[in-house]
Amino acid sequence: MSKGFRTFCPEKNTWNTTLYFPTPDSFLNDWEQKIDATQQSYSALEPVERAKFLLAIQEELLLDEKQIQMKYCAESGLARSRFEMEFARVLHTIQLFASHIEAFQWQKRTEISEQHKSLLKKRIAIGPVLVMGSSNFPLAYSTIGGDSVAALAAGCCVVLKAHEMHLGTSTLVYQCILRAIEKCALPSTVFSHIVDNTYKWAQTFAQHPKIQAIGFTGSIRGGRALMDMAAGRRAPIPVFAEMGSVNPVVVDASIHPEKISEIAEKLAFSITNDAGQFCTKPGLILVHSSHQQLFEKTLLTHLATQTAVPMLHPDIFQKFEARKRAVLKVKGVSAKHAAHQQNGILGLWCLALTDLSTLIEHPSLREEVFGPFALLSPYDTNEDLQDLFTCLDGQLTLSLFTNETQTLHPSLLQFAQQKIGRVILNGVPTGVSVAEAMHHGGAYPASSDVRFTAVGPDSMLRFTKEICWQIHH
């Protein structure tokens, strides 16, 4: 019999008591027997029926909100207010997709009269999707997060690999989904919940011929491993992996000095909020040299007022410390950080200073440090930034604080068009709106497929395909 494993309580710095056991091997055979018929019957539902199912999940989540909240906080160390934000986000996502699929244009028609034929193109589910629960969003990018909702909305069965560090939260959410499945009289294989603290089940499904797409939110290493696995299959399948980003921020010369403190305050919050554990956390700040001194001073002041939060689990904390150390030991990088602990919590914010030539010289400085960390560098001209932009990888976001919003400098525009998923004018990158005009993605390694968004109703397109029905009369 396999050994059980536990989740971690960052707030108390102890392991939680509940034991979890990996999904037994016998599951696979059962799933294989049922998945074809389940996929066919689920995808055959009218959009309005799928919308009803999504809303039934929402209803069940609301019934269990309190229970979920307690597990969520005990497994993540995140505050109740963060739970509330994330829970509301899930409800909003479900609501948005439910309306979206009812209004969506699922068909296109062309009549070709001289050949007496008509073409009817229908958008349908791509097939069963493997979704990997994320570490940093125990709700909104996990069991019933963006990927699962998008896949279910599209008509795809989901195999959800629960993140091993919040199995309690995941199990509670799964029970809500199961009750909704029952209520809607659907087969339970519509949604499978996989528990595992190794790579075994993820690999099994990523390579399984019946899985037709993969959704992932996490590290570049994890995402790339899935991409390589999917590309190496006899029949490769699409992977949508939302991975790392340093989310550059530019504070340009046109900003009035009186505004600097306000901008620094917003950025201090954006860097440290929930221990900086957001894919859109600003990790690289480029400040025009005329503002450098004032900006650095006010940023440090505001950083010092932020509340310390423990990181999600010991592994993330250790990786954060290791990456931080690697960056700080580069010649030309100096650290400015609060030396004290707050309420015994480690992993406090760190701001490091450097310059453009050091950034260009050392690739490791241009890679994400996941956690409450940012690098700050002054710059003189937009032309100087050009060389840095050339060597930066694809990014989820680029933020620009400027008074000149009408005309972007060509080097910024080119960087945006080549590598960025979302450009923010006079705002911070954290806080991704779930909306139709959102694009959450970007050139590799921000995401694995630059053509799709991970957030908003358009993210459903990742898990759909089209069939043309050609009818001769």
| Bridging pattern class, strands 117-125 and 464-472 | antiparallel
CA nearest neighbour of 437 among 459, 415, 420: 459
Regarding 392 and contact with its own copies (CB under 8 A), the answer is no
Contact segment (CB under 8 A) with its own copies among 143-151, 248-256, 300-308, 409-417 equals 409-417
Site for its own copies (CB under 8 A): which residue of 12, 80, 108, 200? Answer: 108
Regarding 360 and contact with its own copies (CB under 8 A), the answer is no
Site for its own copies (CB under 8 A): which residue of 144, 263, 421, 454? Answer: 421
Residues numbered 171-200 forming contacts with its own copies, rule: CB under 8 A: none
* Residue of 9, 73, 279, 350 with catalytic role: 279
Stretch (H or E) spanning 334: strand 334-336
Q: How far is CA 369 from CA 5, 323, 351, in A?
A: 28, 6, 11
- State the number of binding residues for its own copies (CB under 8 A): 71
- Which tokens hold the place of 37? 């018929």
Are 267 and 282 contacting, i.e. CB atoms less than 8 angstroms apart? yes
Binding mask 199-238 for its own copies (x = CB under 8 A): -------------x--------------xx--xx--xxxx
Asked about 242 being catalytic, the answer comes back as yes
Which sign, positive or negative, has the C-alpha torsion 42, 44, 47, 49? Answer: negative
Determine how many CB atoms are found less than 10 A away from the CB of residue 227. 24
Cα(first)–Cα(last) distance of the chain, in Å?
62
Least distance from its own copies to the Cβ atom of residue 17, Å: 40
Of residues 170 and 189, the one with the C-beta less far from its own copies = 189
Regarding 472 and contact with its own copies (CB under 8 A), the answer is yes
Contact segment (CB under 8 A) with its own copies among 20-28, 48-56, 284-292, 419-427 equals 419-427
Residues numbered 125-144 forming contacts with its own copies, rule: CB under 8 A: 125-127
Of residues 333 and 392, the one with the C-beta less far from its own copies = 392
Q: How far is CA 325 from CA 353, 443, 473, in A?
A: 14, 27, 71
Regarding 92 and contact with its own copies (CB under 8 A), the answer is no
Q: How far is CA 326 from CA 185, 310, 338, in A?
A: 54, 21, 18
Buried b (16+ CB within 10 A) or exposed e, 249-277: bbbbbebeeeebbebbbbbbebbbbbbbb
Least distance from its own copies to the Cβ atom of residue 105, Å: 12
Q: How far is CA 308 from CA 93, 344, 348, 376, 410, in A?
A: 29, 9, 6, 21, 39
Least distance from its own copies to the Cβ atom of residue 125, Å: 8
Of residues 75 and 458, the one with the C-beta less far from its own copies = 458
Regarding 471 and contact with its own copies (CB under 8 A), the answer is yes
CA–CA dist 341, 225 (Å, integer) = 36
Of residues 354 and 411, the one with the C-beta less far from its own copies = 411
Binding mask 234-263 for its own copies (x = CB under 8 A): -xxxx-------------------------
Of residues 243 and 268, the one with the C-beta less far from its own copies = 243
Contact segment (CB under 8 A) with its own copies among 12-20, 55-63, 367-375, 462-470 equals 462-470
Regarding 391 and contact with its own copies (CB under 8 A), the answer is no
Site for its own copies (CB under 8 A): which residue of 198, 342, 364, 418? Answer: 418
Q: How far is CA 83 from CA 67, 273, 275, in A?
A: 12, 13, 14
Of residues 200 and 451, the one with the C-beta less far from its own copies = 451
Regarding 89 and contact with its own copies (CB under 8 A), the answer is no
Regarding 363 and contact with its own copies (CB under 8 A), the answer is no
Stretch (H or E) spanning 213: strand 213-217
- Which tokens hold the place of 109? 């028609």
Regarding 36 and contact with its own copies (CB under 8 A), the answer is yes
Regarding 314 and contact with its own copies (CB under 8 A), the answer is no
* Residue of 242, 296, 367, 368 with catalytic role: 242
Stretch (H or E) spanning 192: strand 191-194
As separate numbers, helices (DSSP H) first and strands (DSSP E) second, the chain gives: 14, 17
Q: Catalytic residue positions?
A: 242, 279
